Amino acid sequence: MGSLPIAVSGSTVNSGGCRWWGWCNKNNSSGKSGSNGSGSSDSCANSSAFVFFLVSFVCLASIAGLYCRVLLPPNVHTTLSSLGCNEDNEGSWSIGVYYGDSPFNLKPIEEANVWRNNTAAWPVANPVVTCASASGASFPSNFVADPFLYVQGDILYLFFEAKNSITMQGDIGVARSTDKGATWEQLGVALDEDWHLSYPYVFDYNGNIYMMPEGSAKGDLRLYRAVKFPTEWKLEKVIMKKPLVDSFIIQHDGKYWLFGSDHSGIGAKKNGQLEIWYSSSPLGPWKPHKKNPIYNTDKSKGARNGGRPFLYDGHLHRAGQDCGETYGRRLRLFKIEALTPTDYKEVEVPLGLKESMKGRNAWNGARSHQLDVQQLSSGEWVAVMDGDQVPSGDVNRRFILGCASVLGVVMLVIVFGMLLGAVKGLVPLSWCPHNVGKRSDASFDWERSSLLSNRMRLFCSRLNRASSSLRARIKPKTCSGGWVLAVIFIVTVVLMCTGVKYIYGGSGAEEAYPLNGQYSQFTLLTMTYDARLWNLKMYVKHYSRCSSVRELVVVWNKGQPPELSELDSAVPVRIRVEEQNSLNNRFKVDPLIKTRAVLELDDDIMMPCDDVERGFKVWREHPERIVGFYPRLADGNPLKYRAENHAREHNGYNMILTGAAFMDSKMAFEKYWSKEAAAGRAVVDKLFNCEDVLLNYLYANASSSSTVEYVKPAWAIDTSKFSGVAISRNTQTHYGLRSSCLQKFSEMYGSISSRKSEFHHRNDGWDV
């Protein structure tokens, strides 16, 4: 049977009802159906809308790809282990060590100035146990958390939750340290069950060692006894038929007390509930406290336990988790003032630990939710604490925001196309219920009587008329319309880059790179004067937040130095005021520097923290070299100072600019201020130039092997161009002076023209 007419005329359908992006061919305007279907498809393929969308998304994809390549730091965890360290929605937890003369005066291990030469850690820095540590010991882990110590003489055992990358459940790992926690030997998995385990609380009782891990997924609380400590454990007893989380047992006033949270009960507030039981033995039976639940309150109040309680100055102290902003956001500490079967009272006291100001660049910048602090036989206190760089659920959040950004891009591209005239409507023809090809009489009868069909037809018409209405209002050919198009384009590009950043760019943390499983820190040193204060303020704010920066030293050569309060820094800043304005001051021996590594970095160079961290890792691999970001080649007869382009044309370099380079703080400075370098320093003072050239010569003169190493930065900006206080404005004159220096230094210390390091000789690919 043939097609029957419908209520909407053919002209109405074409002008607004169902004409979509110019994809409907003209034969359909009459309302006929059947033989014109293939012609319509051909028209779709050749339409201006199709070309517009193709070109738009290719351009946006190119911009997003360039943004990813240049501006997004790599996800460091993906380079740590081929087995574990996968991005996990629960976080990227790791474990750090702290020391102090009391539990209220704890400082991270890097401030104890512990050096480990065999691990290139000068000094050792937190975190000391990571997912890579566990994965390297053949039990792949996405993160490590919930640390508990067990002390046997001078040996520390560390028990922790390891999120298994394969089963995606928690197992209990164990490590051993013989140097108070500076280095850890991974011993493997201590306990593995068919359900999730965490919070491995370990304690002594009657000559035995017990572990009480959280296993709430099983629905009860279990006690395990060590059969062969620390890696073999046997189930001793199910001590409570409740799915308690983060529980511990302590002895106080002749009784044993069990603290834990049961979030499964009716009305129990997750992460805001705490209950107490008591017994004459850790094996039970357990009686409930009269005031149970002790807390059933807001999750930020610290009700959920956050580690082992400790006794100090005659008082018990309990750590609790503040889960207000995100799960495990921070620790709160409480002094227990009353603990009896009928009464419980605690008051909050300061923990005494400063939060890092480095944000996600700090290993514990976003969260820290468990502490175990114990006193050693020496009287010193040692603590382990976990930390994370991202909040809970960060992976899901980024994916949702990324998809929302991409959806916004699609909508703006459609609007942009409508304003240009390439997109004629919003709803495709095939979506309209009255234009679906050959239909039966029953179909048309249903369509006439269907209220939903009529409303959809009306909705299609109104949507598609919006295109011409929008063009009539904004008028893209006018000046104001052009501005609207420009704004839409800019917002589209920003949204596209934002979406890619959320989906592809990782957590946004510019993390440190470990070497041999250890982290370290360096001192950042820059030289400046009063006319460049604007540069310095921006420089300090940016670089002080890089993960491995320990301290920032400002060598002040001229004018009135700023007050420290004027500088927004996440690390200590020390301003060293010099009496004489000399470039030689850059390499002055400084006994107050606490790290072996120094990054000499001009105050007008801005680059990502990730570039800095990559350079630091390469220097730790070659601490006898100058490792930097700007290669130069001195060659020719007579010697000439050549830029990076010339070095790349000749596939080699023999100098590294020390205005952006890592070096050994002791070796480099002592070389520079030796008697042999006195004549060279005089040349530097005379020309007010070439101090970096001199140091390169001194390194080369002292070694027959390679003395320079290049790391390519993703990008770098010269901020002096914005402030107008560049030191070397005339490049030709500047290069001429440096060529003169080359010739003078060659006469003093021997030529370096024959020493050439090639680009792209390392496996890391960072020297291309």
Known catalytic residues are: 692
Q: Identify the three-state secondary structure at position 597.
A: strand
In the block, tokens 């409508």 appear at 418
Find out whether 599 and 612 touch, Cβ atoms under 8 Å: yes
The tokens describing 272, both together, are: 């805001």
What sign results for the dihedral spanned by CA atoms 166, 171, 174, 175? positive
The closest alpha carbon to 145, from 126, 160, 166, 129, belongs to: 160
Crossing angle of the two packed helices 691-701 and 731-749, in degrees rounded to 10? 30
The tokens describing 404, both together, are: 């929302």
Distance CA 260, CA 320 (A): 11
Distance CA 140, CA 363 (A): 20
Contacts for 690 with CB less than 8 Å, ≥ 6 apart: 583, 683, 684, 737, 738, 741, 745
95: left (phi over 0), alpha (psi -120 to 50) or beta: beta
The closest alpha carbon to 365, from 205, 246, 511, belongs to: 511
- For 21-89, give the DSSP string: TT-S-GGGGGT--STTHHHHHHHHHTSHHHHHHHHHHHHHHHHHHHHHHHHPPP-GGGGT-SSS----T
Distance CA 19, CA 424 (A): 7
Distance CA 28, CA 37 (A): 9
Find out whether 654 and 756 touch, Cβ atoms under 8 Å: yes
Find out whether 61 and 114 touch, Cβ atoms under 8 Å: no
Q: Give me the torsion for CA of 480, 481, 482, 485, rounded to 10°.
A: 130
DSSP 8-state symbol, 519: B
Q: Identify the three-state secondary structure at position 405.
A: helix
**Which H, E and C letters describe 179-229, residue by residue?**
CCCCCCEEEEEEECCCCCCEEEEEEEECCEEEEEEECHHHCCEEEEEEEEC
Find out whether 152 and 179 touch, Cβ atoms under 8 Å: no
